[in-house]
Structure 1
Amino acid sequence: MIGRSLRGARAGTRYSTWSVPAFAGAKTLVVTSTNFEDGCPLPRPHAGKGVGDDVSPSLHWTAPPTGTAQLLLVIEDVDVPLPRPLTHTAAVLPPHRDSLDIGELRPGAPQVRFLRTVLGQGYHGPTPLRGHGPHHYEFVLHALDAPVPEGVRTFRALRAWIPGHVLARGRIVGTYEL
């Protein structure tokens, strides 16, 4: 009932990391998955706790540009009924990575450092309000020219640090609806 009544309330992409100029890069990365196609539904195992198994999908991407010091993956729900998109996951990866295996976005995974979001740390799969309609989940990968400082531990702090550090970016979008 709540989802239906809020159906027209959506954050939109205006404040998503894909749209905010501070997160833009001059070059493009191509991001793909073996678990879903761009613009298509995410399979149930990748949905959040209580809905699915909360297991992150596999992701693959093209080589980042020369000078990449670190990679940043941000997963956001741009259809949440809030003023801004909801950041589900923010993960820092080494620059030599070209993929993440299914389930690899979990606390304690080697070579993955999570920044704290309002949902906590680690992968938090789709859990839209029942009846709210389809939600779009943007998986945005950024190639950074400098490592994210160890003192940057939250997504909010990252937003302050990141301007001028993005060399390239790419995304894949999955949908989910209850």
Structure 2
Amino acid sequence: MGGPLAYLQYGLGKMLSPIRGHDSKLITNGPAFKDIPQPNMFLEAPECGPSGSRLLDHHTMLAKDGKGDFPELHWTPPPDVDVKEYVLICEDIDLPIPALVAHHGLFYGIPPTTTAVTNADIQHGSKDSKEHVTTAGWKYVPNMMGSVYLGPAPPLGHGSHRYVFTIVALKEPLNEKQPERLSRQKVSDAMVGKVVGWGQWIGTWERPWPK
């Protein structure tokens, strides 16, 4: 099943399959992390398993809403550090576009007392659609689709993609004066000199042949 369009998409995905692996463009390879090149925090996704595990279908485009749930994550604070704020980001580093890394979700203003996130925490929590605040009271930077979070939806035939979830501990809040203009790059720039810890968990997923 799938029809002619699926075969066309699959062929295109296969043709572009060598274009992937944009690891150097991860946010953790930016200047904000030059003094802490290795993770010093532990991030886990209990529902899925150790880093490198496959995301469950309800975390992806196969979910009932077509968007996918954010996987539950837990983390440990960095040792001997006074954390003021956490930043959480999910990046796809295997897009079929050279040197491009896209964020599926980017959240900041996460209180230092928080050590876990669930899908309920990251839903849009304001009646004002232009106000980028989640139900947990965190702030977010809209992704390429203009939404809070978008689960994995790699091209058919392109193979398995890696979705890198990174928790970042800051010793100072971002304190952005124009949050509506924030982008992934501007958050990366604003974290320079403030990062005191980070941890990563990687989930994988490949789009199945349509039924």
State TM-score, norm by structure 1: 0.90
User: In 2, distance between residues paired with 1:25 and 1:138?
Assistant: 21
- Equivalent residue, structure 2, for 1:12: 22
21-30 or 141-150: bigger deviation: 21-30
**Which of structure 1's runs of 4+ aligned residues deviate more than 3 A?**
23-27, 48-53
Structure 1 residue 25: Cα displacement: 5.7
Query: C-alpha displacement at 1:138, in angstroms?
Result: 0.2
Counterparts of 1:125 and 1:57, CA distance in 2: 9
> 1:42: Cα distance to partner?
0.1
1:55 aligns with 2:66: no
Q: 2:170 aligns with which of 144, 148, 159?
A: 144
Which 5+ residue runs of structure 2 have no aligned equivalent?
A: 1-10, 126-134
**1: CA distance, partners of 2:121 / 2:156:** 27
Alignment match, 1:32: 44
Shift of 1:56: 0.6
Give the aligned residue type for 2:60: A
The one of 86, 89, 99 equivalent to 1:71 is 86
Larger radius of gyration: 2
Q: How many corresponding residue pairs?
A: 178
Q: Which whole-Å CA distance do the structure 2 matches of 1:24 and 1:139 have between them? A: 19
Partner of 1:91: 107
Q: What residue identity is the alignment partner of 1:137? A: Y
Which protein is richer in helix relative to its size? 2
Provide the identity percentage: 26
User: What is the TM-score normalised by the length of structure 2?
Assistant: 0.77
Change (3 A) 1:22 1:103: same
Query: What's the CA shift string for 1:15-38, capped at 9, x where partnerless?
Result: 111322424563611001122121
Gaps of 5+ in 1: none
Q: Which protein has the bigger strand share?
A: 1
Give yes or no for contact 1:47–1:55 (8 Å, CA) kept in 2.
yes
Aligned with 1:14: secondary structure?
helix
Between stretches 34-43 and 20-29, larger displacement belongs to: 20-29
Paired residue type of 1:163: V
1:118 aligns with 2:144: yes
Partner amino acid, structure 2, of 1:99: A
Q: Does 1:105 align with 2:134?
A: no
Please report how far the alpha carbon of residue 160 of structure 1 lies from its aligned counterpart in structure 2 after TM superposition.
Answer: 2.2
Measured on the aligned residues, the alpha-carbon RMSD in Å equals 2.0
